[in-house]
Amino acid sequence: MRHRKAGLKLNRTPSHRHAMFRNMVTSLLKHDRIRTTGARAKEIRRWADHLITLAKRGDLHARRQALAIVREKEVVHKLFEQADERFGAVSGGYTRVIKLGKRPGDAASMSLVELIALESTKKKKAKKKKTKTEGKQKKKAADKKTPAAAETVKADAKEKAPVKKKDKSTDKKEVTDVEAKKTAVKGTAAKAKDEPSKVETKSAAEDTKKDKPAKKTKSAPKEQAVKAEKKDAPDGAKKKTPAKKTVKDEK
C-alpha cells in the first residue's frame, strides 16, 4: 500500500523532481500561465495552491516558507501583495488546466496551466457597466421630473441658434467685402496697366511733333540774309583796304 506517499514520481529522482516543480511554480507565478505536459500540470496545481494559501495568510512565517520554495524574491513579494485582492474571495481552486492536444514529437498530451482571472478587473468592469446604466437612468429621471428645465434648455438652444446664424451672415458679409476689395484692386491694377500705354502714346506724339521741321515764316528769310551778310562782311573789308592802298601808291 502507498499510504502517506502523495504526488507523482514522474520517473525521476526526488531531488530532480523537487527542483523541477520549484522552477515550474516560479514561472507560473511570474507569468500567470505555463505550457507543460498533462501529468506535470496536474501535479503543479498542488504546489501553486499551497503557495497562494501562504500568501493569503500573509505573516512573516508564511513568507519565509514561500521563499523556501520559490526561486525569486520579487515573485514572492508580488504574490503576497496581490493575494488578498486577487484571491481573497476564492477559497481554493486558484488554477485551471486547459488541454491543448498531442505534442508532435512523442504524442504526449499537452496542457496549459494558468491562474484564475483577477478579481479586481472583474469588479472594475462591473462598475463601468453600472456607471453607464446609472447615467442613462439619471438622465431619464431628470427628464421626467423636470420638464420645465428641459424646456428652458430648449429655449436657450433656440436663442443661441439665431446668434450663430448672425455670425454666419456677418462672416458672409465680410467675405463679400473682401471679394469686392479684391475686385477693386484688380480694376485699379488693370487701369494702371492701360494708363502707361496712353502716356507712352502721348509722349511719342510729342516727340514726332518736335522732330518735324518748323514752318517757314516770312521773317525767317530776312534773318538768314542778315546772318549771311555779317559773315561776308570781313571779307568785303579786306578787299576794300587793298584797293585804297593801290590808290595812294598811284598818287
Give residue-wise pLDDT tens across range 93-137. 899 999 999 999 999 999 999 998 755 545 555 566 666 666 667
pLDDT of res. 251: 43
Q: Which of 11-25, 30-44, 205-219 has the lowest mean pLDDT?
A: 205-219
The better pLDDT of the pair 85, 248 is held by 85
pLDDT at 36 over 50: yes
What band does 46 get if pLDDT is binned at 50, 70 and 90?
A: very high
Q: Rg (Cα) of the chain, in Å, rounded?
A: 59
pLDDT of res. 247: 47
- For the chain, give the mean pLDDT: 75
Cell representation of residue 62: 508564511
Coil, strand or helix at 33: strand
What band does 166 get if pLDDT is binned at 50, 70 and 90?
A: very low
pLDDT of res. 150: 58
Strand partners of residue 37: 110
Q: What is the pLDDT of residues 170-189, one digit of tens each?
A: 666 677 777 787 777 777 76
pLDDT of res. 236: 47
pLDDT of res. 186: 75
Coil, strand or helix at 112: strand
Which H/E stretch holds residue 6?
none
Coil, strand or helix at 244: helix
Q: Percentages helix, strand, coil for the chain, rounded to the nearest 5?
A: 75, 10, 20
Domain extents for the chain? 14-118
| Rounded CA separation 137/145 (Å) | 12
Question: How much is the average pLDDT of 220-231?
Answer: 58
CATH superfamily name and code, 14-118: Ribosomal protein L17 (3.90.1030.10)
